[in-house]
Structure 1
Amino acid sequence: MPPGQYVMRKLPHITALFWAIKILATTLGETAGDYFAQTLGLGTLLSAILLLAVFLVAVTIQLRASRFHPALFWTVVVLTSTAGTTISDFINYTSHLGQATGALILGTGLAVVLVIWWRSGQTLDVENVATLTGEVLFWTAVVFSNSLGTSTGDYLAGGLGMGLRPAALLLTAAMLVLLGAHYFTGINSTVLFWIAFILTRPWGAVVGNILSKSRDHGGLDWGNAGASAVLVAALVVLVGYQTLDTYRNPLEPLPVPLNRHTGRPQRPNGDLITVTPA
């Protein structure tokens, strides 16, 4: 590593392990969100408020952290997914706007966030986010994408009358197409990342419903609590593995971030370290 100042990474590398944990986290978000709103009887509005409050506490801790901590990072992702489920359900059902309208509202919100992110001069390459502004925009986009994913999954399975399992097969095929595009085309990797990031949420929503819903509705009838317990166990195993791997192979730091438009130094989101000449 050349001499100079660097910033400790706050976000993980985008690998197969990242996507495996992301899918588990978003699937857990679907079942856990339904558990709060339906099983505990809190309703979508109260659940959304409660889960957003918990998310804000967790994301504040994440933003103040000095470097990447897998357990903290994925806790925030799960909370965005759980809150996203209740936000989507509130818009679609409690407010009676419908699944298509809900998806349109949330999709527009996500597009606005991404445009603001791009115009801010921050990198959209998640692996290389090294500024506080960039990380705040990242988490804002995650909340919108996870809420949008719930609406999209519900619309495919219910609004279009596809059913849970056909919707899951369709979304799995879409993810395989994106995987092929990543390896065999020259499509921008950042564009593919955000499309995949959005699609994993409806995929997780549909799979979560398959695990929790009754057999009459095409599910396995595990219930929200049972499905959530299984997903939490799997998530703990994978996050534990990532924590151990990160301890053994620390993530390499990033150069001090510069604004893409002005070239001016930006406020870093992690600890600064200085590499001196050997």
Structure 2
Amino acid sequence: MFIDDIDRTRIRRAWSKVPEVTIYFWIIKILATTVGETAADYVNTTLGFGLQWTTVVAAVLLVVTLAAQFAVSRYIPALYWWTVLLISVTGTLITDNLTDNLGVPLTTSTIVFGVALIVVFAVWYLVERTLSIHSIRTRRREAFYWLTILVTFALGTAAGDLVAEKLALGYWVSLLIFAGIIAAITAAHYLLHLNAVVAFWAAYIVTRPLGASLGDLLTQPTDAGGLGIGTTITSLVFLVVMVILVAYLSVTKVDRIEQRDLGRIVVTR
């Protein structure tokens, strides 16, 4: 019934660098994806940094944050979710630069990022033989993990803008479409036993265009199909909720994979 020193050492050495997938994970993920859309617009437009300087600032912050993330030996909620937030902003800016500065059509960028994501998944699996986030315990796997997330954010931004703006379906319809896709993935997992890893990454990818559509719906003016709340209020409210949830996870540790592993050892003794 007790955990001996060998068990503790084994689990400590195998501490995961990412959180357990709980309801908190998905709530914070959607908040982060939405803020990625609204914060990029806030700094770019509202603060007047411009797309180029906003991209430079976001890229520098991301590099510093990733260095810190790789340096730690375990999952730290505040650092992990700050990294996700910065990748969300950076992914948005990558697509915006391609569209606004280089004139790349959203259809093209969506297809290119989609193919890029397939390639990343393929290489990751060929090298590591798994795509499970519960296996993110080495720097190489963590590198694949963050690269995958960056591509999903760039892809999601392009796909969200493509559906809402290029195809002129509007933000409400786009939001409902992506929410419906996530609901279908969830049902396929629980009712049709869709593989957990496949279901996770499918839902993870779609949460980005969902967040992009939600962010645009809240911030865009009413004459453009939005609610006109603006990037300042939207970003602030979503950030505050994120901070509260991350603080809760930091205190309770309910989303730490090693806590689950320790529990399993106790049960099986």
Using structure 1 for the length normalisation, give the TM-score. 0.86
Match of 1:147 in 2: 154
Cα separation, 1, equivalents of 2:129 and 2:54? 33
**Unmatched segments (≥5 aa) in structure 1:** 256-277
Does residue 216 of the first structure (1) align with residue 216 of the second (2)?
no
Q: Name the CA shift for 1:137/1:191 in 2 (closer, same or farther; >3 Å).
A: same
Q: Name the CA shift for 1:223/1:19 in 2 (closer, same or farther; >3 Å).
A: same
Match of 1:119 in 2: 126
**Letter of the 1:100 counterpart:** T
Match of 1:164 in 2: 171
Match 2:106 to one of 99, 109, 112: 99
Tell me the CA shift for residue 76 of structure 1: 0.3
Does residue 232 of the first structure (1) align with residue 249 of the second (2)?
no
Match of 2:18 in 1: 11
Tell me the CA shift for residue 179 of structure 1: 1.1
Given that residues 30 and 81 in structure 1 are in contact (C-alpha distance below 8 angstroms), is that contact kept between their aligned partners in structure 2?
Answer: yes
Does residue 48 of the first structure (1) align with residue 39 of the second (2)?
no
Tell me the CA shift for residue 47 of structure 1: 1.9
Cα separation, 1, equivalents of 2:25 and 2:260? 19
Given that residues 21 and 255 in structure 2 are in contact (C-alpha distance below 8 angstroms), is that contact kept between their aligned partners in structure 1?
Answer: no
Q: Name the CA shift for 1:245/1:14 in 2 (closer, same or farther; >3 Å).
A: same
Q: Deviations over 1:215-242 (max 9, x none)?
A: 1112121211111011111111111111
**Letter of the 2:78 counterpart:** A
Q: Name the CA shift for 1:106/1:42 in 2 (closer, same or farther; >3 Å).
A: farther
Larger mean CA deviation between 122-131 and 182-191 belongs to 122-131
Partner of 1:140: helix, strand, or coil?
Answer: helix
Partner of 1:12: helix, strand, or coil?
Answer: coil
**Unmatched segments (≥5 aa) in structure 2:** 262-268
Q: Deviations over 1:124-143 (max 9, x none)?
A: 10123111100011001111
Match 1:131 to one of 128, 131, 138: 138
Q: Name the CA shift for 1:207/1:154 in 2 (closer, same or farther; >3 Å).
A: same
Tell me the CA shift for residue 171 of structure 1: 0.8
Q: Structure 2 matches for 1:165-204, cutoff 5 A?
A: 165-204=172-211
Partner of 2:103: helix, strand, or coil?
Answer: coil
**Letter of the 1:36 counterpart:** V
Q: Structure 2 matches for 1:242-261, cutoff 5 A?
A: 242-246=249-253, 251-252=257-258
Q: Name the CA shift for 1:30/1:119 in 2 (closer, same or farther; >3 Å).
A: same
Using structure 2 for the length normalisation, give the TM-score. 0.89
Partner of 1:9: helix, strand, or coil?
Answer: coil
Provide the aligned C-alpha RMSD in A: 2.0
* Alignment length (residue pairs): 255
Given that residues 128 and 254 in structure 1 are in contact (C-alpha distance below 8 angstroms), is that contact kept between their aligned partners in structure 2?
Answer: no
Cα separation, 1, equivalents of 2:22 and 2:54? 32
Cα separation, 2, equivalents of 1:17 and 1:249? 8
Identity across aligned pairs (percent)? 33
Tell me the CA shift for residue 40 of structure 1: 2.4
**Letter of the 1:14 counterpart:** V
Does residue 21 of the first structure (1) align with residue 41 of the second (2)?
no
Match of 2:265 in 1: none
